[in-house]
């Protein structure tokens, strides 16, 4: 499989290492310094593009891939106000687009656990739900896409929660997300339900980028030959109504 890497930072390099070990070919490595090289690649030069760049670059990267007829796997967060536009473009082009806020299988199981716990807790209004997410200092967006997905899962299950906020807002209709940037932390997410008498907490800690990179590469392998808009639940064969 010929893979185009869009974004060649730590994640792109980790994906490259795993891809080469699995017998794949790297068709190109595109970052902010050589984006013009994208024009030299034809439709047959790329089987799938894997996009882990920056919030500023992701929209143009994904749009250009779809217009060139390349399936694209995107893991960049911080640009999702344009997601509907990209999904519509994908359908118009009869292309393939795969997006996930987090490609770790463990995190996607954590998403399901989060929804399940929120469903249990909706009948206990004495508990206040909040979240903390911790990432490395190079992460540019806050809150993380994973934290937003967790918050959306809570909002889906608890009718009194209408929105998420990335500050210390204490309004009862909000899920508060605290974002911390420390050292080289790959990613930690904590969902907490506090009452006056106790705390219930679930937590996911990533030890390295390997799990994220392997998940993204697996998504790319799976996406080739398909048409439509997909996510991790499609890849894992899981249903969403937990």
Please tell me which residue in 24, 115, 135, 189 is annotated as part of the active site.
135
Q: In sequence order, what are the residues at sequence separation of 6 or more whose Cβ sits closer than 8 angstroms to the Cβ of residue 38?
A: 28, 30, 64
- The answer to whether 72 touches 28, Cβ cutoff 8 Å, is no
Please tell me which residue in 2, 10, 13, 139 is annotated as part of the active site.
139
User: Catalytic residue at 122?
Assistant: no
C-alpha to C-alpha distance for 77 and 5, rounded to whole angstroms: 16
CATH for 105-206?
Answer: 3.30.360.10
C-alpha to C-alpha distance for 60 and 51, rounded to whole angstroms: 11
Closest to 149 in 3D by CA, of 212, 184, 191, 119: 191
Query: Which positions make up the binding site?
Result: 35, 75-77, 100-103, 136, 145-146
Q: Which residues of the chain have pLDDT under 50?
A: 238-242
Q: 3-state DSSP call for residue 67?
A: helix
Confidence at residue 241, expressed as pLDDT on a 0 to 100 scale: 41
Confidence at residue 242, expressed as pLDDT on a 0 to 100 scale: 40
Confidence at residue 239, expressed as pLDDT on a 0 to 100 scale: 36
Q: What are phi and psi of 126, to 5 degrees?
A: -70, -10
Confidence at residue 148, expressed as pLDDT on a 0 to 100 scale: 93
DSSP output for 19-54: HHHTT-EEEEEE-TTSGGGGGG--GGG-SEEEE---
State CA 179 to chain mean position distance: 16
Confidence at residue 240, expressed as pLDDT on a 0 to 100 scale: 41
Confidence at residue 164, expressed as pLDDT on a 0 to 100 scale: 95
C-alpha to C-alpha distance for 85 and 150, rounded to whole angstroms: 23
Query: Which positions make up the binding site for (S)-2,3,4,5-tetrahydrodipicolinate?
Result: 136, 145-146
**pLDDT tens column, 66-121:** 999 999 999 998 898 999 999 999 999 999 999 998 898 889 889 999 999 999 99
C-alpha to C-alpha distance for 198 and 67, rounded to whole angstroms: 53
C-alpha to C-alpha distance for 163 and 174, rounded to whole angstroms: 5
Confidence at residue 143, expressed as pLDDT on a 0 to 100 scale: 93
Query: Which positions make up the binding site for NAD(+)?
Result: 75-77, 100-103
Confidence at residue 94, expressed as pLDDT on a 0 to 100 scale: 97
User: Catalytic residue at 139?
Assistant: yes
Give residue limits of the domains in the chain: 2-99+210-236, 105-206
CATH for 2-99+210-236?
Answer: 3.40.50.720
């Amino acid at each position: 499989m010929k893979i185009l890497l869009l974004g060649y930072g730590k994640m792109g390099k980790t994906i490259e290492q795993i891809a080469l070990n699995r017998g794949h070919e790297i068709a190109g490595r595109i970052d902010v310094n050589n984006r013009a090289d994208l024009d030299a690649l034809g439709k047959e030069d790329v089987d799938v593009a894997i996009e882990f760049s920056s919030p500023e670059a992701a929209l143009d990267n994904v749009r250009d891939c779809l217009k060139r007829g390349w399936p694209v796997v995107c893991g960049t967060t911080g640009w999702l106000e344009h997601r509907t536009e990209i999904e519509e473009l994908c359908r118009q082009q009869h292309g393939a687009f795969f997006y996930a806020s987090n490609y770790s299988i463990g995190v996607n199981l954590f998403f399901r656990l989060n929804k399940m716990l929120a469903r249990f807790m909706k009948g206990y209004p004495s508990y206040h739900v909040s979240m903390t997410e911790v990432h490395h200092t190079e992460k540019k967006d806050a809150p993380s896409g994973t934290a937003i997905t967790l918050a959306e899962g809570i909002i889906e299950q608890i009718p009194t929660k209408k929105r998420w906020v990335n500050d210390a807002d204490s309004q009862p209709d909000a899920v508060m997300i605290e974002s911390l940037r420390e050292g080289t932390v790959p990613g930690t997410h904590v969902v907490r339900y506090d009452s006056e008498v106790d705390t219930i907490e679930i937590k996911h800690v990533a030890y390295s980028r390997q799990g994220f990179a392997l998940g993204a590469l697996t998504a790319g392998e799976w996406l080739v030959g398909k048409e439509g808009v997909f996510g991790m639940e499609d890849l894992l064969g899981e249903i969403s109504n937990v």
